[in-house]
Structure formats: C-alpha cells, structure tokens
Structure 1
Amino acid sequence: MLGTLTKGVWNLRIRDDGSEQRVCVRTGREFIQLRHRQPGCSQVVVRDNPNEVVIQYTCRGNGYGRTSIRREGNGLVQIESQGIADGTPFSISGEARHSGKC
C-alpha cells in the first residue's frame, strides 16, 4: 500500500498537540518510524491491504514501535503509532495530506 501513495511533500498534523511537520515521501515508508529516524531498524509487515498497512519495527538499543497507516484517498492518510523511544513511551495519532512536490 505504501508504494501507491502520491510522491512529494505531505503535511503531517499530530492530533494530540496540534503540531505539524512536513514529510518528503519518496517510497511511503517515511511514515513508519516517526519517532525513530535512524536507519538500520528491523521492520516486520504485520498487515498489508490495499488501504491499510501495519508495520512493527525494532531499533536495537533505542526502542521499538508499531505503526498503522490507513489510506483514505490518494492525498490523505491516517497514522497511528506507539512504542518506546529513548526509554520513554510514545503514542502518535495524526493525519497527513499531500501538498506538492519535494
């Protein structure tokens, strides 16, 4: 499912605090590790349907997470992610919309 997302800049709005960030999407996998930006984390696809993907990942020495991404249209996805980063639990609920080219 991630490979079918529109490439380019997406604006991600986090519901909990209202913060926003821009994500340049090239493969769609950029949405998986929002709290673990380092490379080299192992990832396991739990579910991959035409409109939803769930991925569990582990970043050795820095925690783990589980992310669900649900496509509502070519330019709109819902993202839920939770896990442990730097020894602290996190939970993210957000919405991302395609807004243009990177």
Structure 2
Amino acid sequence: MVLKRLMLAAVILFGTAGAPARQSAAPNALGGIERGQWQLRSVDGSLRKLCVANPAMLIQIVHGNAQCEHFVMENTQRSATIRYTCPSHGHGRTTISVDTPRVINLETQGVANGAPFAERFEGRRIGPCS
C-alpha cells in the first residue's frame, strides 16, 4: 500500500519519467540501435561479444535474463537512462547513448548478487549474428 502511494506520488511529481516502463514500450534511443553481433570494449580494454536480437537486452547487461522491473529516467532519441530492480538478484542503472545505429556508449552500475559493479563500454556492431 505504501509503495503504491509512493509510486503514485512520483508519477504526479515527476510525470511519466518515474513510472514503470511497459514491457512493449522501449526507450526511444533503443529503436536507433541495429540488431546483430556487437563487440563491447570496456574502459580497461577487455572485449565482450554478444548477439543483440533486441536492443532492450543492453539495459540489464550484467543481470542477463533476470526478471526485472524497469523505470525509465531519461528518454530521448539518442540517450536513455533506465533504473531497474531484479528481486533476489540486485538492481542497476544503465545509460545508453547512441552515436550512430552501429556505435553506442553504455554505462551501467549497481549491485548483482550482493556485489557492486560499475562498467563502461563502447559498443560497435561488427556484423550479423552467427
């Protein structure tokens, strides 16, 4: 009951930016990201490759397929910030900036399975998924 009141107050105070994102409604910036094989280069130079069938998977890259609630905090054509909570797995906040449909910058931080994380990646589409 208290949580519902707090959420309602947040919606009234901050508008829809504080409301939970609907499963079918992705932030605008994600629509500008091409699907396919992506390479993510972290600040320390390590590489991570992944097949991006749905750009929304980039929101909770550390939490993978965990069932999470998303809250869109910023939503423009070129940038999105999403805060999310994954019951029993942790929480995070991710900002995705779209330079081009094939180049993105992704920053994510939070707690996963009791341990803090903070990652920053430059992502580049390198081809179709194999």
Range into which the TM-score falls when normalised by the shorter chain: over 0.9
> After TM superposition, where is structure 1 displaced by more than 4 Å over at least 4 residues in a row?
none
Question: Which one has a larger percent helix, Structure 1 or Structure 2?
Answer: 2
SS at match of 1:61: coil
TM-score normalised to structure 2 length = 0.74
Unpaired stretches in structure 1, ≥5 consecutive residues = none
- Secondary structure at 2:37 match in 1: strand
Is 1:67 the equivalent of 2:109? no
1:73-94 alpha-carbon deviations (Å, 9 max, x no partner): 1210001000011111110011
Compare relative contact order (CA 8 Å, sep 6+) and give the higher one, 1 or 2. 1
Question: Any conservation in 1 of the 2:66–2:89 contact (CA below 8 Å)?
Answer: no
Runs of 5+ unmatched residues, structure 2: 1-28
Structure with the higher strand share, 1 or 2: 1
1:20-39 matched pairs, under 5 angstroms: 20-39=47-66
Spell out the pairing of 1:4-15 with structure 2 (5 A cutoff).
4-15=32-43
Identity of aligned residues (%): 36
List per-residue Cα deviations over 1:17-68 (Å, max 9, x = no partner): 3221112112211211121013311111111101001111101011100000
Q: What is the TM-score normalised by the length of structure 1? A: 0.93
User: How much has 1:100 moved relative to structure 2?
Assistant: 0.4
